Each structure stands twice: as C-alpha cells, then as structure tokens.
Chain A
Amino acid sequence: QVQLQESGPGLVKPSETLSLICTVSNDSLSGYYWSWFRQSPLKGLEWIGHIYHNGNALYNPSLESRVNMLVDTSRNQFSLKLTSVTAADSAVYYCARAPPYMMRASDVWGPGTRVAVSS
C-alpha cells in the first residue's frame, strides 16, 4: 500500500527558505501528479501546487513567485521549496498523490508536518 511521508525542519526563520521532502513508499512516481497542500487556522486548506512525474509543475498563483517543486525519481521523492517565508507561512504541510484518472483529486496523503516560521 502506497505511503507518503513528509520530512524537513519544523522551524524556519523569517525571510529564509522552507524546504520539505516527500518520500513515496510502495509505489512509483510515474503516472501521477504529486501535490503539496498546507493548512492553517487562518487560511484553511490551501493547494500549493503539483508536479507531474516528468517534472512539469503547476503552482498556486498566490505563491508562484516563491515556490519551486522538483521530483527525484531515483530516490522516489519529490520536494517543495518556499522562499522568503513569513509568519503567514506557518502551517501544517501535507504531500499527497493525485491520480490523473481521479481528476487529480488527492487519494493518498502523508501525515503532515508542522512548520513554524519564527525568529
């Protein structure tokens, strides 16, 4: 059964870069979109963007200038970088799988990782 696990620092300083990795177990990256979401009490659930297994990515326009996603098929991982973070970027971050045949809805999610932005 496919499993996803987010990893990365739980604390990031303002103006620095938030970097997270999602490791996929028991499945290949091929044929799927791989998504990042975040959730905070202020903004609720927010789609950050997704990346196809071939590296093509689409981002939320509200974050596009600060976001970059990559896939590493050799390690079965995909990653998120968010630059110039502020307190408003504090949230629980989730990675998820999004099959094209399910309209890119996210059928499998990682447990989430809490990221705080603070000096």
Chain B
Amino acid sequence: DIQLTQSPSFLPASVGDRVTFTCRASQGISSFLAWYQQKPGKAPKFLIYAASSLQGGVPSRFSGSGSGTEFTLTISSLQPEDFATYYCQQLNNYPFTFGGGTKVELK
C-alpha cells in the first residue's frame, strides 16, 4: 500500500495567516491526490482533486500543488471557518489510502 505522511500533525495559526502543509507519498502517484477538510463530528468535505483542481464552491484561498511524491495545500488567508483537520488521499493505486491529517488550530 502507498503510505501518505502529512506534516505537521498540528499547526497553530491565527486568522489571516498564510498556512501551508505537506503530504508525502511513499512512491510516485503522479497527480492522483485529493484533499479533504474535516470538522469534529462531521464527514470529510472534498476540497481538491488532481492535486490542484479546486472543487466547485471551495473558496479560492485554498490551493494545492505538487506531483510525484510531494504535495502541498495552502490557505492564503486563514478564516475562522478553516480551523479543522485536513487529509490527503492518494487515488493512484488500490487500495486508496489517506494521510494521518494536519490539524489547524488556533494559536
């Protein structure tokens, strides 16, 4: 199985900050990567697929980049509703796998 390692696990931040976090794959997955946002007690919310394609309705402050084994998710100006846990998922090989998540919390 392809392992996804997300860093950092916890990211203290303030409203208005530009935040970036990373997802590293144990082998190359081209651009077959998705990002999700999850808030406590809720289902994951789909943000990005193909590493950088924003799902309709997702604010433009979210952006994704990368290919191969290293990917990033950036929030250009953190808003109060963005405090959540973010997961990456690889879709290149079965079984699809997720990273362990990055929790963005209030500094």
Q: Which of A's residues lie within 8 Å of B, judged by CB?
A: 44-47, 49, 58, 60-62, 94, 96, 102-112
Contact pick for B34, options A49, A62, A105, A112, CB 8 Å:
A105
B46 in contact with A105 (CB, 8 Å): yes
B residues less than 8 Å from A49 (CB atoms) = 95
**Chain B interface mostly:** loop
Residues of chain B at the chain A interface (Cβ within 8 Å):
32, 34, 42-46, 49-50, 55, 87, 89, 91, 94-98, 100-101
Beta-carbon contact of A108 and B34 below 8 Å: no
Q: Which 3 A-B pairs have the closest CB atoms?
A: A105-B34, A109-B43, A45-B98
Q: Is the CB of B32 within 8 A of A47?
A: no
B95 / chain A contacts, CB cutoff of 8 Å: 47, 49, 60-62
